[in-house]
Amino acid sequence: MKFSTSSVCDDSYNKKKLKLGKIHKFFFVFSITIFCAIGFVASDIYLPSLPAIADYYHVKASLAQNTMTVFLVTMAIFQIFSGSISDRFGRKKTLFVFVTIFILASIGCYQSNSIYELMFFRILQAVGACAGMSVGQAIVADLFDFKEMSQILSITIPLVAFSPAIAPVLGGYIEVFFNWQTNFLILAGYGLFIVLLLISPIIPKNSTQKKQSASSFNLKLLLNVLLNKKFFGFALFMMASNATYFTFVAASPFLLKKFGYSPETVGYALCAASFPYMLASLIGSRLSLYKTSLQIIFYGLSLNFIGGVFLVLMFLVQWEHMLALMIPVFIITIGNGLLMPLSSANAISLYPNNSGMVTGMLGSLQLTAAGFGTALIGFIEGATLLPLGIIVIVISVFTICYFLKVYKEKQSSDIIME
Going from the C-alpha of 137 to that of each of 259, 308, 391, the distances in angstroms are 40, 30, 30
Residues present in the chain in total: 418
Report helix, strand or coil for 275. Answer: helix
Domain that holds residue 250: 11-406
Question: Does 15 have pLDDT greater than 60?
Answer: no
How far apart, in whole angstroms, are the C-alpha atoms of residue 106 and residue 100? Answer: 10
| Structural domain count of the chain | 1
Specify the range with the lowest mean pLDDT, choosing from 125-129, 265-269, 282-286, 402-406. 265-269
Q: Dihedral through CA 28, CA 31, CA 37, CA 39, nearest 10? A: -130
Burial class for 382, CB neighbours closer than 10 Å (0-12, 13-18, 19+): exposed
Residue 1 falls within a domain, yes or no? no
How far apart, in whole angstroms, are the C-alpha atoms of residue 248 and residue 233? Answer: 23
How far apart, in whole angstroms, are the C-alpha atoms of residue 269 and residue 242? Answer: 17
Question: Does 395 have pLDDT greater than 80?
Answer: yes
Of residues 192 and 381, more confidently modeled: 192
Question: Does 414 have pLDDT greater than 50?
Answer: no
* Banded pLDDT at 298 (limits 50, 70, 90): very high
Residue 418 falls within a domain, yes or no? no
Residue 414 falls within a domain, yes or no? no
Per residue in 87-111, pLDDT tens?
788 888 889 999 999 999 999 999 9
Contact criterion met (CB below 8 Å) for 100 and 190: no
Q: What is the CATH number of the domain that holds 222?
A: 1.20.1250.20
Residue 190 falls within a domain, yes or no? yes
Residue 5 falls within a domain, yes or no? no
Per residue in 329-377, pLDDT tens?
899 999 998 888 888 888 888 887 777 778 778 888 887 887 777 667 6
Residue 416 falls within a domain, yes or no? no
Residue 161 falls within a domain, yes or no? yes
* Banded pLDDT at 417 (limits 50, 70, 90): very low
Question: Does 23 have pLDDT greater than 50?
Answer: yes
Say what the pLDDT of residue 81 is: 83
Residue 413 falls within a domain, yes or no? no
> What is the pLDDT of the chain when averaged over all its residues?
80
Per residue in 212-250, pLDDT tens?
444 455 667 777 878 888 888 899 999 988 888 877 776
Give the side-chain half-sphere CA count within 13 A for 172: 9
Per residue in 144-193, pLDDT tens?
777 787 778 778 877 887 787 788 778 888 888 888 899 999 999 999 99
**Number of neighbours of residue 85 by Cβ within 10 angstroms:** 24
Contact criterion met (CB below 8 Å) for 350 and 228: yes
* Banded pLDDT at 415 (limits 50, 70, 90): very low
Those residues with Cβ within 8 angstroms of residue 410's Cβ, 6 or more apart along the chain or in another chain = none
Say what the pLDDT of residue 266 is: 66
Contact criterion met (CB below 8 Å) for 363 and 77: no
Specify the range with the lowest mean pLDDT, choosing from 177-181, 256-260, 386-390. 256-260
